[in-house]
Amino acid sequence: MFNFPENKTMENFSSTVLKTGVLAGTSDIVAACLQYYLQTGKNPVNVLKFVASGIFGNAAFSGGAMMAFAGLLFHFLITIGFTFLFFIIYGKMKIARISPVASAIVYGAFMWAFMQFGVMSFANTPPVKIHFLNAVTAIIILIVCIGLPVAFAARRYYARQQ
């Protein structure tokens, strides 16, 4: 499937990606819930139900704890998927290794654009109007909470493999 350079075991790679994805996903969902609460004063569980609505549509908002749990599960699957993709890209592209901060910025913007214009166009979520300030805030959260930890973890992983 993927060609891992010598000394890189699939188990070590998978473990590193999983741990990094869980760390990044946790910081991202905490930041998103905090930002939502500060902006609206409403229960941050609505963030998780919004994520669940991507699959379940409006029924997610009237669902209880199971819908929030489903949203959390979907969030972590997405975050771990983005983490996996970054690790693969990092291993193949020398330009990604130049600066973890620059990589995190580019990847954060990429994740936002991919989710906003790709995934959201197929999801069952209610339509959300894009506001510049909200988009910038979301991108910054993605850069700080996912991009930076993933970029530095990938850098560390590949440095240890050499």
Can you give the pLDDT at residue 3?
56
Query: Do 57 and 124 touch, CB atoms closer than 8 A?
Result: yes
Per-residue pLDDT of the chain (162 residues; tens, 9 = 90+): 455 555 547 779 999 999 999 999 999 999 999 999 999 999 999 999 999 999 999 999 998 999 999 999 999 999 999 999 999 998 787 777 788 999 999 999 999 999 999 998 888 888 888 899 999 999 999 999 999 999 999 999 988 877
Q: What is the pLDDT of residues 115-148, one digit of tens each?
A: 999 998 888 888 888 899 999 999 999 999 999 9
Can you give the pLDDT at residue 162?
72
Three-state secondary structure call for residue 8? coil
* Angstrom distance (rounded) from CA 62 to CA 72: 16
* Angstrom distance (rounded) from CA 22 to CA 135: 23
Region of 7 on the Ramachandran plot (φ > 0 left; ψ -120 to 50 alpha; else beta): left
Q: Model's pTM, two decimal places?
A: 0.88
Amino acid letter, residue 54: G
Can you give the pLDDT at residue 124?
85
